[in-house]
Structure 1
Amino acid sequence: MEDLSPDASVGPATRLVQHRYRPPADFEAPAPGVHKASTVFFPNVAAVRQREWKDKSAYTYGLHGTPTTFTLEARIATLEGGQHCVLAPSGLAAMALVDMAFLSAGDEVLLPDNAYGPGKSLAAAELARWGIAHRCYDPMRPDHLASLIGPATRLVWLEAAGSVTLEFPDVPALVAVVRQAQTARGPGARAIVTALDNTWGAGVAFVPFDLGVDISLQALTKYPSGGGDVLMGSVVTRDDALHRQLLLTHMRLGLGVGANDAEGVLRGLPSLLLRYHAQDRSTRALATWMAEQPGVARVLHPALPGSPGHAHWLRDARAAAALFSVVFDDAVGAAQVDAFCDRLRRFRLGYSWAGPVSLCMPYELGPMRELPGPHPARLVRLAVGLEDVADLQADLAQALTAVS
């Protein structure tokens, strides 16, 4: 047994800070260990000069990875069918990382008009200040995307399903448009990178790389965490060169995630598929019921026939997420829509989704879109949690009296 008797040659503070005890190394449990570090110790100067963190073969500094973050990155890459992953403090930070890794002054980025709002705002404000242009395309029209790709186009964002209105685009067709434009540029031309916001799919509904994209991004805040209590993002790729470019930008920006947040996502991953499919079933049941209610003009959900992109979803996906949006009749006024939201008790008013609690949020689509409409004027997005479906349906029923 190790000698743990006090070292009389040093003072009590030193004995506490540099204690002799080291736990045995063969501990294993279902939950990975939580390693917290800024400083990482090196055994000698040679190790300082030889260690390499970029390939996850060693540790140099807490910001560049710990056993906890390396483990989470490996599991997220596996979840999405990729090879490499980097973590960011939020989904939006992950978007900013992709933008900054691949865009320079004079470049252009193309975004679907129904993309995540803060990502569009990032392009319109910050990227514009740095001399990077952006334009929005209709994600349901590959020909429109083709018409916008120009010599300066360097990055094309995709989203499946679209934010709030949940259109499911023909991702392979959109990727094919980008590849055709790349081929037309000729050999040696700068590549056009395709990046998919896969938060909705979560690595469960479809494998993003099987649809042809270069990069898959998730807000791990949503399904991988599952608790509504963690902010984090990830960027996954199969391409070594793209990963290295992302990793170096990630390092220069000083992006890092907290060990306890990484622990929270690692704890959520084993139940991800169970939660995703359970919430999928509940959401389809509620969306189908809601579509039949008075005052409801339309329900938007990729698995429902008639929802935009339903045929693409049938071909490319095997599940759907916990979101559906309700478009009310024109006769329903804005005050009535607000009253519907305020009357809900099981659905709480709040942003985000994929947690255990069902959520509700009204939207005005006009300010969120750059392309001309028509856009639904009165829309409410509902995110279904893990409550009993009967209780959620009863809550919706009593709230609908506000719009009847």
Structure 2
Amino acid sequence: MILSESTHGKHTRTATRVVGAGRRKEWTGPVVNPPVWRASTHLYEDTAALARNGQYNEDGRFFYGRRGSPTQWALCDALTQLEPGAAGTVIYPSGVAAIAGVLLTLVKPGDVLLISDNAYDPSRTMGTGLLTDFGVETRFFDPRDIEGYAALFCERTRAVLLEAPGSLSMEMCDLPELARIARAKGAVSVLDNTWASPLGFAALEHGIDISLMALTKHVGGHSDLMMGSASAGPELYAALRKRAQQLGNVVSPDDAALALRGLRTLALRLRQESESALKIARFLAERPEVAQVLCPMLPGAPGHELWSRDFTGGCGLFSFIFRGGSAADRDRFVDALSLFGIGFSWGGYESLALPIQPKGARSVMPWPPASGNDPAVDRHGVRLAIGLEDPEDLIADIAQALEAWKRA
């Protein structure tokens, strides 16, 4: 039986939708997956067909390679089906391209953009770099300070860029309330939802206007592609699509096929990563070398209550702070790990470790985060991206690396 959109519609559970989303019969034919359509030129039977197709700009209608073909359309359709409330999804050649494409759709010269102070660093530098060249003013805010956030709005504020949990430092915030205030002030709320994905946080259902992701991470899942996406309701989706085409954004059909392949195991991988990360976070929380574990999934950790209230899932990404020690000690810990690669990105099947120092990427939020009355909290932290290895092996590797950290 060929799976149809109705077979895996909104009335089925998430894991079932992940398997069937985007597999329309007209795109797959008699096979399981949509074929990889490599084409820059689309041909028409006659000039009437050329004129007819030119009247429409939508997925599923051939026009020119830059507008995609069944491989890309299937991915967009699948992502839209996974985001309740979305009318469509635009895909971009990277996560940063998605952020740029969304912001360049929403703001114009003279506008004000609000960015969460703990956002992904390229998001921050877009506000302080690229957008300043277009006459856009960026204001950073602490997303935990609701009153301070509300006070930043003015008649020129057009958009708010949110991220939860925060990049590197993992703070949670009241996303529904932040989105509600933005809408009441006439601004569009945008959420970088890469950490949880729609499987762990249904952004549009919680009031967010645009949900974007770096598909490079969890959706790809195998550290072999670069891609981003943005999903939205009808009006904003149409605006995003138009601006993406004006900017010439296009995704390789080969990469789209890889993203579709990764998508099918997304629910399983997120579940396993989350279970392993929570086990490792609990281990670290009991270690005397660790001052604080920054993992909202962990009971008692900062932001756990908000995560429990609003989220249905998480992932393998979290951070921790050493109790004292130097930057050299921290680096010695990372270098001593044998099962963790050292590198940027995350969301692949392999575990990664990265030294972090968020202080240089903050304007209004303190680093390190508060930890009660503990005077031993220092600024040296590590971000762990937990992959699909056995968590007991990863714990043993971390334990031996902590011994290296203690050797002065």
Q: Scaled by the length of structure 1, what TM-score is found?
A: 0.89
Quick one: which amino acid aligns to residue 378 of structure 1? H
Contact 1:140 1:309 in 2 (8 A): no
SS of the residue corresponding to residue 393 of structure 1 reads helix
Deviates more, 1:267-276 or 1:28-37: 28-37
Q: CA deviation at 1:56?
A: 2.2
Query: How much does 1:326 deviate?
Result: 0.9
Please, which runs of 5 or more residues in structure 1 have no aligned partner? 1-24, 183-191
Q: Distance in 1 between matches of 2:311 and 2:56?
A: 36
- Equivalent residue letter for 1:273: A
Aligned with 1:382 (options 381, 384, 395): 384
1:131 maps onto 2:131 in alignment: no
Larger Rg: 1
Selected match of 1:222 from 195, 198, 217: 217
Q: Does 1:357 align with 2:356?
A: no
- CA displacement at 1:96 relative to structure 2: 0.3
Could you tell me which residue of structure 1 aligns to residue 250 of structure 2? Answer: 256
In 2, the alpha carbon distance for the partners of 1:143 and 1:94 equals: 29
Q: 1:56 aligns with which of 56, 59, 64?
A: 59
Partners of 1:245 and 1:365 in 2: how far apart?
34
Distance verdict in 2 for CA 1:26–1:58, change over 3 Å: closer
Task: Give the distance between the partners of 1:126 and 1:179, measured in 2 at CA.
Answer: 25
Match of 2:327 among 334, 343, 355: 334
Alignment partner, residue 74 of structure 2: 71
Q: Which residue pairs with 1:369 in the alignment?
A: 362
- 2:111 maps to 1:107: yes
2:33 corresponding residue in structure 1: 31
Distance in 2, matches of 1:27 and 1:177, equals: 46
1:184-216 Cα offsets, whole Å, 9 max, x none, are: xxxxxxxx1111101011111121111101100
Question: Contact 2:210 / 2:230 at 8 angstroms: preserved in 1?
Answer: yes
Q: Which amino acid aligns with 1:196?
A: L
Equivalent in 284, 287, 292 of residue 278 of structure 2: 284
Offset at residue 153 of structure 1 (A): 0.6
Instruction: State the alpha-carbon separation in 2 of the partners of residues 157 and 28 from structure 1.
Output: 42
Deviates further, 49-58 or 308-317: 49-58
Q: Where do 1:77-116 residues align within 5 Å?
A: 77-81=80-84, 82-116=86-120
1:151-162 pair list within 5 angstroms: 151-162=155-166
What CA distance in whole angstroms lies between the structure 2 residues aligned with 1:28 and 1:233? Answer: 29
Residue 5 of structure 1 corresponds to: none
1:209 pairs with 2:204: yes
The reply on whether 1:199 has 2:187 as its aligned counterpart is no
Q: How does 1:267-306 map to 2 (within 5 A)?
A: 267-306=261-300
The question of whether the paired residues in 1 share the 8 Å contact of 2:93 and 2:227 is answered with yes
Contact 1:167 / 1:307 at 8 angstroms: preserved in 2? no
Partner residue of 1:307 out of 290, 301, 306:
301
Q: Provide Cα deviations, 1:113-136, integer angstroms capped at 9, x if missing partner.
A: 000101111111110111101011
Amino acid at match of 1:271: T
CA offsets 1:343-393 (integer angstroms, 9 cap, x no match): 011011011111011000011111111115243611100000000111101
- What do the CA deviations read for 1:206-258 (whole angstroms, capped 9, x no partner)? 211111011000100111110011100000012x1111111110111000000
1:174 paired residue among 178, 181, 201: 178
Quote the residue 2:402 is aligned against. 400
In 1, distance between residues paired with 2:236 and 2:107? 13
Task: State the percentage of identical aligned residues.
Answer: 38
Q: For each residue in 1:19-67, what CA deviation from the matched residue of structure 2 results, as whole angstroms up to 9, or x when unmatched?
A: xxxxxx9942222211011111011111111104522241110101101
Match of 1:345 among 338, 359, 381: 338
Does structure 1 retain, via aligned residues, the 8 Å contact 2:142–2:365? no
**Contact (CA 8 Å) 1:142, 1:177: kept in 2 or not?**
no
Alpha carbons of structure 1 residues 57 and 318: separation in structure 2 relative to 1, 3 Å = closer
Counterpart residue identity of residue 332, structure 2:
A
Name 1:140's counterpart in structure 2.
144
Question: Match for residue 14 of structure 1?
Answer: none
The number of residue pairs the alignment matches comes to: 369
Alpha-carbon distance, 1:79 to partner? 1.3
Q: Quick one: which amino acid aligns to residue 248 of structure 2?
A: G
SS in 2 for 1:31: coil
The answer to whether the 8 A contact 2:60-2:69 is kept is no
Letter matched to residue 198 of structure 2: G
In the alignment, structure 1 residue 266 sits paired with structure 2 residue 266? no
Offset of residue 268 of structure 1: 0.9
Deviation at 1:173, TM superposition (A): 1.1
1:236 aligns with 2:238: no
3-state SS, counterpart of residue 265 of structure 2: helix
Whole-angstrom CA distance in 2 between matches of 1:30 and 1:251: 30
Query: Residue 358 of structure 2 contacts residue 367 of structure 2 at CA under 8 Å; is this kept in 1?
Result: no
Q: Over aligned residue pairs, what C-alpha RMSD do you find?
A: 1.4
SS for the counterpart of 2:49 is: helix
Residue 155 (structure 1) shift: 0.6
